[in-house]
Structure formats: structure tokens, C-alpha cells
Structure 1
Amino acid sequence: MKVVTGQPYEGREATLIDWARYRVRGSEYPGIVPQEGSLVCGKLYWGLDEQAVEKLDAFEGDKYERVLVNVILADGSNQQAYVYAIRQDCRTMLSNDPWDFDRFLQNGLERFIHWFVEDRRDLFDRGDL
């Protein structure tokens, strides 16, 4: 979060119900889609300002959309939050492989860092990030 927004926002563990997370084909990057009976565990950040949200929008790109959902926090409470989901017309870019954080660390982190730093350099050059 800090690398993209420039701010160290506080976050808490949260669970998204009736959504699933799959690996994007040819990468180790995840995408989420609605899927009844599935769960996605993640982190909920709060206190983001408009500039941080704009940076996140630019980082996620045009194949993702910000969607308002309900998440469940560790204490059992519900909270509305935005998630970045694969747009309906881009869902064919997802594989059938569930995304796994440990697999990402082992197989995809180095490639992701290269993509973030090199392939997305235009965002830095334009000042979007």
C-alpha cells in the first residue's frame, strides 16, 4: 500500500464472502470475481484520501474496477469496502488456478517487482504514482 500510495495506511485482516481469487493467465498476479460459496482473505485499509484512491486506480489499470462490497472483520463485524475486481469483459484473462500468496512469493514476486518497476514506469513518468 505504501509503495503505491506513498502513505503507510493502517489495515486489518478482513474476509470477502462469495468472491474467489484466481491467478491471471501468464502471471502470478491475482484477480477476484464474484463466486457463491467462496472466500477471499485480505486486508482492509481505511482513511485513504482521494489522491491515494486515484493512485490505486492507476496502479490497478483498466482491466479492474472498483466495486463496493461488504467484508467481515476478525471481530465478526461487517464493514463496507471497495475492492478491485476483474471487469466482467476481462474475466477470460483469469486462469482456473486459485491464487495463492505462498506461490506468489515463491514464483511471482520477482516478476511482479520487475513489472511494477519497469513495465509500469510510464505511471511514474506521468506522475500517476
Structure 2
Amino acid sequence: MSLSTTLLRGISGAYFLQSGIGKLKMPTEAATGLQQFAATGVPQVTKLDPDTFGKVVSYSEIGVGASLLAPVVSNRLAGLALGAINAGFLSIYFRNDQMTRKDGIRPSEAGTGLSKDLFIAAIAAALIAAPKASKK
């Protein structure tokens, strides 16, 4: 694995792993708030009860983080996992008018926190497009 790929996977993997672990014991009230926010981009999440939603988010982030940190997982597969979870985050960003300026792309003050997901999309694309490691 190249140094650049290791950095892309290590930093983003640690970020997602820490984020998912931090949500493991999320109180129902916090899960409800997160679910309502997520529903602005992915309305189907309202079909879950808040505690189940919180667990799904937590386990998903832990799984993505672990796949990025595990060297036995290919770059392409890790990038696809990262891209899949990131698609949900980006849908929240782009479907919520409060997150972007009038142009619908640049982040508003409220959207600055979610705009990091544009960088995560680039990381996912780089991992998917990365050449396969040569066997020596």
C-alpha cells in the first residue's frame, strides 16, 4: 500500500471509527435529533425508531472505519464503503437549504460542518480509482 493511500485510509478510517464509537451509547433524545436531521436528506430513516437508527448509524460508521483501517480490505472495497455512507451525508447537505448558500453548492455557516463530506467523497473516489497494488 502506498504512503498516500495509507494516509487517506488511516485518517478517514480513524475519523469514522471514533465517530461511530462515540455514538454507541447515544441517548434516545440525541438519536431522535440526529434522525430528524438525517431525514432532511434521507426521508426513509423516519421508518426506524430512534434507538435503532442510532445503532445503525453507529455500527455503519464503525464498519466503514474498520474497513478503511484493515489492510486486508482492498482500496476499491474500502472506497465503495466510504462512498456509500458518504452519499447519505451528502444528500443531507444538498437537500437541506440551510446547509448551502443560494447557489446550492457552497456551504452556509450552518453547512460548514457537513461540507467536510465533499472531501470525504474525494477520498472515496481516490480509493476506488487507485491502482491495484502490484504483487512482488
| Interval containing the TM-score (normalised by the shorter chain) | under 0.3
Greater share of strand: 1
- TM-score, normalised relative to structure 2: 0.26
Greater share of helix: 2
- TM-score, normalised relative to structure 1: 0.27
Larger Rg: 1 or 2?
Answer: 2
